[in-house]
Amino acid sequence: MSWKHFNTETETLEISGYLPTELERFHAVVMNEDTWYKQIRRPGNNYAVRVNRFLDGLLAILKSWEEKEPCLIYPYLYILHVNLTEDKKTALVSLQRTHGYEFIFKDIAIPFE
């Protein structure tokens, strides 16, 4: 799981690990490390299919909300939360504003299996 943190010594935002570009553009991604590496991106013959389904689903959700939330063209203004359903075959995504911390949407399902 990639994560961003502010380095107080260098006063820069640093990224650790790996996330696809579509996710790195957000201000922050809140996700359990096992969610990304052991479920969505886990090694195996369906690796690319799972990742692409998740990313395509996320981009479709964001596109559908653009009319209601015009600032979605600037993903760095938002915090993306990703959780899993109990069967671990579906991601639940929520989007939160960085200012005011109110949620735009919560727990929209994206099947990746």
pLDDT at 3 over 80: no
Mean pLDDT of 68-75: 88
pLDDT at 102: 94
Angstrom distance (rounded) from CA 27 to CA 55: 17
Angstrom distance (rounded) from CA 8 to CA 30: 21
pLDDT tier at 1, thresholds 50, 70, 90: very low
Angstrom distance (rounded) from CA 89 to CA 77: 28
pTM: 0.82
Mean pLDDT of 4-28: 76
pLDDT at 4 over 80: no
Task: List C-alpha distances in Å: 101 to 14, 44, 87, 94.
Answer: 22, 37, 29, 12
Phi, psi of 42 (to 5 degrees): -60, 145
pLDDT at 17 over 70: no
Angstrom distance (rounded) from CA 94 to CA 102: 11
pLDDT exceeding 90 applies to what percent of the chain?
Answer: 42
